[in-house]
Structure 1
């Protein structure tokens, strides 16, 4: 009987003890600390706006061409008996150098014949002069008054004088033809192509080859109306010649050459609506300068032309310029702000802002998917440097 009562009382007792313990624990529990949730700002990298005084650089491109290009043409007939070692494609030669020599025998004979004709005509003139003196003396001794022209042999004298002049002209022509048997370079240059060779018979008008002058090279650069607004073009009695830097990749290395803009062609291209400016480069093959890379004809080059100068201009990376000439900033309250600016010029790298930005403004350079005006942000790197340190920025992010 006692065991049965114990079995009934023990579970009840355990239940009351458990309830008492639970109530005690509930009374001793501290309330959870209430913490206000703060908004987390996006980490944004920025650059600082810095006004500058700069000279605009106008970009263009073109192909290097020689200023002087000449086709060598024979002015005599004959067989080629000698060719200069420099009369090969790409060969360099000096001004006045003999490139091709034509057989001279017939022309030497012509010179001798012309000399003989001149001597004969000169002798005849001297003889006629003697006859004129005799006629004048006879007329003066037998007759008074003015003698007729025929009586004094004036027509005969004029004829002999004309014969002498004709013989002199023939001699000059023969000597000139003889000199033309030596085809000389009209200026220092290189041979672009040749069409004849040793032993070949050529006639008057035969093209011997094509030569380029190496003293000056030219590059035609297309310029738009917008480009012209930022340049000083050569004009007037004291023209300015803007400096031009030409560049190209040669044998895997970037090379530069200096030139100057000397003129414009003065007519807009009807199809492209651009005007062509001509840049001149002295001694492109560096024949007078050792150790420099030559600027070869036919090379395609990029050009950077010195333009006008402008003050208080802020260069902004072009990718930061948004539609409507807006730029995303981080203001003093560390909030995003859209600012409309005035752009004077743009190129492939920068937009040049002349109004709408102040010195020290922070321009957001981080890629933000959906930026909104007034969005709270945190500054990360400014001009490529962390405000404190990358670790500090990371701990800041972890704390937020």
Structure 2
């Protein structure tokens, strides 16, 4: 039994010695100097020379690209297709004939009616001459004039029916894939193709209510798309007059030039919306700011030592934090080796970064 107690006692002494040596045994190697620093090697650090800079605040939102004009081409008349005058995916001009439906019967009716109009014109002319000579009554002349006008109206109605057998481009653009073939029967419910004009392109997006005062007609927005590395610019031209009660956002629409056809209707746009610009402020890297329970601090270089300084922060970006109070232009902020630093620890500058 005594041997066991002796072993326990020796183990306890060993543990106590190790603990004492860990926390108190190194004082002969590193001792405080008269300035409160350490006599060990200085900590290697990088520093940033602070200067005033401009800060632009932005928000990233998602929008949808749509065509400037887009329509499904359909026929206003039923009948057999006698001609298709466009190629799929081709550019067409406003008013260009795209599809023709059978109209020979209407053409014949128009020719017959035009012949009757010609006879009616001659009759109206003779009666007008005779009426001026008081050879016929006013009633006879007005009857011939009414007959002429009636026949002209019939011709106009037939021409309108013939026009309905033609499908023409309502605006200039690109025709999509066609859904009909020559000789097929076309009805008003049959889609022929889609006509799209996407130069300029429209971008529709929603902005949070609190930023409404910063959006106005003519505002510029930048955006990118997945299929291109180019940054595009659009100009706001329309703002929804009411706010969505569910999302508390307002819908905005902008136009972007698309001469090269890089923007495609239906694709997503990643929009960077500039909100405001602060002309003079101080920005430091995020990793240089040390938060604690109540305050935020940074280390600055002063006479070869790291000195802790309390700061007040403002806006944040992906990589930087705005310093509202606590730093001035020309200060040297330590940006690396932060974990190893303590107040009044000697440091060695390895790299100086200028903003």
- TM-score with structure 2 setting the length: 0.74
Deviation at 1:326, TM superposition (A): 3.1
Q: Structure 1 residue 242 and structure 2 residue 219: aligned?
A: yes
Aligned mate of 1:263, from 210, 226, 238: 238
Q: Which 5+ residue runs of structure 2 have no aligned equivalent? A: 1-27, 33-37
- Name the structure 1 match of 2:311: 339
C-alpha RMSD of matched pairs (Å)? 3.4
Change (3 A) 1:351 1:384: closer
Query: What's the CA shift string for 1:64-91, capped at 9, x where partnerless?
Result: 21021112121223211222342x2x43
The 1:350/1:62 distance shift into structure 2, 3 A limit, reads farther
* Residue equivalent to 1:210: 194
Please report how far the alpha carbon of residue 184 of structure 1 lies from its aligned counterpart in structure 2 after TM superposition: 1.7
Equivalent residues, number: 316
Q: How does 1:357-376 map to 2 (within 5 A)?
A: 357-366=327-336, 368=338, 374=343, 376=345
Distance 1:273 1:92, change over 3 A: same
Matched, 1:302 2:270: yes
Q: Does 1:188 align with 2:165?
A: no
- Does the C-alpha gap of structure 1 residues 316 and 35 become closer, same or farther in structure 2, counting only changes over 3 Å? closer
1:118–1:164: 8 Å Cα contact kept in structure 2?
yes
Taking structure 1 as reference, are residues 370 and 118 closer, same or farther at Cα in structure 2, changes over 3 Å only? farther
- The residue that corresponds to 1:76 in the other structure is 77
Tell whether 2:296 aligns with 1:326.
yes
Trace 1:1-40 onto structure 2 (pairs within 5 A): 37-38=31-32, 39=38, 40=40
Q: CA deviation at 1:273?
A: 1.7
Report Cα offsets for 1:316-373 as digits up to 9, x if no partner.
44565658783523263522223123x2x4444444445553213344434755987x
* Partner in structure 2 of residue 63 of structure 1: 64
| Aligned-partner Cα distance in 1 for 2:205–2:320 | 22
CA distance in 2 between partners of 1:312 and 1:213 (Å): 44
The structure carrying a bigger strand percent of its residues is 2
Question: Matches of 2:212 and 2:346 in 1, distance apart?
Answer: 42
- The runs of 5 or more residues in structure 1 that have no matched partner are 1-33, 139-151, 235-240, 288-293, 386-400
Compared CA separation, residues 137 and 168, structure 1 to 2 (3 A): closer
Q: Does 1:166 align with 2:150?
A: yes
